[in-house]
Amino acid sequence: MNNPLTHFDHNGDPSMVDINDKKSTARMAIASGKIKMQPETLNKIINMKIKKGDVLVIAKLAGIMAAKKTEQLIPLCHSIPLSYVKIDLKPNINDSSIEITAEASLIGKTGVEMEALTAVSIASLTIYDMCKSADRSMTISDIKLIHKSGGKSGEFNA
């Protein structure tokens, strides 16, 4: 039986994909998302008036740490030696939001899409956690893969 769902074996049981025969290639992924908030909350973040500390610096660190721990959070992800993770956080005054972008890369046998997506997710959750006492109405949205390169399936751009 040829099963198009790669995380299930021929019996339909969950299985980690066998990457032993894959070639190591340069792989990169970029994911994005945003967190909307009240204008006063964004102003407090920009002016470092949140009591828990520098929200943007801590969210960047959280995103990087999360990318490195992805295999511990998502059951069938491979443990991979990330070579690079970068988090960008851009306050958007007009939209009263912070736009989050994460880039992850390595030279390896499997992609880094889940690591980039996890980094965006945790960076946004960290912003929420640090600011929830000021604004419980924040919303996290639009988390998506915007670019992927390397490997057999080639390049993807959203």
The confidence score (pLDDT) of residue 1 equals 40
SS3 percent helix, strand, coil of the chain, rounded to 5, is: 30, 30, 40
Which pTM was predicted?
0.91
Domains in the chain, please, with CATH? 25-157 (3.30.70.640)
The confidence score (pLDDT) of residue 5 equals 58
Is residue 86's pLDDT more than 90?
yes
pLDDT tens-digit profile of 59-80? 999 999 999 999 999 988 999 9
Residue-averaged pLDDT of the chain: 92
Q: What is the mean pLDDT of residues 39-52?
A: 96
Which residues are designated catalytic? 129
Q: Is the dihedral of CA 51, 52, 53, 56 positive or negative?
A: negative
Is residue 149's pLDDT more than 80?
yes
